[in-house]
Amino acid sequence: MSLLSEGAQLAVGYVGDTMRCLALYRVFGTTLGGKRLYIDDLVTDPECRGRSYGAQMLSWIEAAAKSQGCIMATLESGVQRADAHRFYYRSGYSITAFSFEKAL
């Protein structure tokens, strides 16, 4: 299974010729939330954290979401990722739901 073949999009942030961050995202609709953009992955080179590459990528993704008619941007982050959570809070995101999983 390839998420790209199923409509996911990949955004890559470069500084010169060096990749510094990337994001995988997709747009879809839900009955409750309307059209939204879901961020599957947002990754910044660990050596470059704190240089605003992740924030710039997130801003770019949010602009892409608006241009595609989305009313919401959403993502999930593992409960152990405290640094990522602080970043998302600073970026205006809030926790609005629990995520439940069941292995099949």
Q: What is the CATH number of the domain that holds 43?
A: 3.40.630.30
Which pLDDT does position 1 carry in this prediction? Answer: 60
Mean pLDDT for all residues in the chain: 91
Which pLDDT does position 4 carry in this prediction? Answer: 74
Q: Report helix, strand or coil for 12.
A: strand
Question: Is position 41 within any domain?
Answer: yes
Pairing of strands 18-30, 34-44: antiparallel
Question: Is position 24 within any domain?
Answer: yes
Which pLDDT does position 19 carry in this prediction? Answer: 93
Q: Are the C-beta atoms of residues 61 and 97 closer than 8 Å to each other?
A: no
Which pLDDT does position 11 carry in this prediction? Answer: 95
Q: Number of structural domains, the chain?
A: 1
What residues does 13 pair with on adjacent strands? 21
Phi, psi of 45 (to 5 degrees): -50, 120
Question: Is position 72 within any domain?
Answer: yes
Q: Which residues of the chain have pLDDT under 50?
A: none
Which pLDDT does position 74 carry in this prediction? Answer: 93
Question: Is position 99 within any domain?
Answer: no
Which pLDDT does position 14 carry in this prediction? Answer: 93
66-78 burial, b at 16+ Cβ within 10 Å, e below that, comes to eeeebeebbbebe
Question: Is position 51 within any domain?
Answer: yes
Domain of residue 48, residue span: 4-90
